Amino acid sequence: MPLVPGRQILSEALKGGYGVGAFNVNNMEQIQSIMMAAKETQSPVFIQASRGALKYSNLNYLRHLMLAAVELNPDIPMAMHLDHGNSLESAKTAVELGFSSVMIDGSLKEDGKTPTTYAENVDVTRKVVEYCHQYGVSVEGELGTLGGIEDGVGSGQIHLTDPDQAIGFIQETGVDYLALAIGTSHGAYKFKTAPKLAMDIVKKVRAKAPEVPLVMHGSSSVPADLRDAINRYGGQMPNAMGVPVEAIQEGIKNGVAKINVDTDGRMAITAAIRKIFVEDPKVFDPREYLSPARDAHAKIVAERMRQFGAAGHAKDYKPMTLAENKAYYASKGK
């Protein structure tokens, strides 16, 4: 199966009333575990790389690992997604690498920290859409800013999305799906108490743009059992709360089709490795601690796929190629 355009995966999810997990990767084990979970649950999936991940792994290492995942899992619809691209140039690089989906985070300037104006966001997002659609590559935009900082990205400030402005943004830019700021936050240390998300924003945007899949960033749940395991085996993660799964499920009912999860996977990997190092300090072969870490990551990814309702939907539709998606955009004048 070729890489699937993100637009098709999320449009099908929107029609089916489920959410697709978008999981960040940095190395082989993470990619393997995500695909293990996708195959076990028969779920479509976004494998996404941030600019930091591409820098860490070197562009082509990660690209070929992702392409190996496609080759080895021909029955799983998979989008290869750039997370938090910060410029037209970063989008061009992703297209050249073969990505089937690109996010342009025009809510922040190229430094990934300074908020932009609405006009600046529209300008860069429109340019990325015009470029990517020529190649059949789908585009995610963002309006508003999240709290927290992860992978060097984030202003540290929360500016909730204006739903009326979001409709204009969709029309002016032509984005395929839109990330909303509704009170979620990047990173592991999101909230001290259970967050109250602005679900009314999701409902209003959904009502006025029912065909546009919506995206939740900063949606890791920061499981208490993983946090406690990390601390039990020598870690230092103070009490923190993430986004409850129930809140994500409410978002899915109201039009959220893509849910970004990163911290939960990192915690599962770290907890597994710390446990082994404490319980068996003689271990020095990376395979002996990376294999259990991979299994732990696969377990939580599969759990999220089931909770988001994606399980069992891998074979619901015939996947499009990028060439077919390019023809779709041309037919719509996009």
Active site residues: 83
Distance, in Å, from the CA atom of 278 to the CA atom of 274, rounded to the nearest integer, reads 6
The DSSP secondary structure of 27-47, one letter per residue, reads SHHHHHHHHHHHHHHT--EEE
User: Over 210-224, what HEC string results?
Assistant: CCCCEEECCCCCCCH
CB atoms within 10 A of CB 283: 13
Residue 133 backbone dihedrals phi, psi, to 5 degrees? -65, -25
Residues in contact with 4: Cβ distance below 8 Å, sequence separation at least 6, in sequence order: 44, 77, 78, 79, 100, 319, 320
Report the DSSP beta bridge partners of residue 102: 82, 139
In degrees to the nearest 10, what's the CA dihedral of 44, 21, 105, 191? Answer: 180
Contact criterion met (CB below 8 Å) for 220 and 242: yes
Q: Which two tokens stand for residue 244?
A: 């409850």
- What single string gives the DSSP state of each residue in 103-133? EE-TTB-TTSSSBPPHHHHHHHHHHHHHHHH
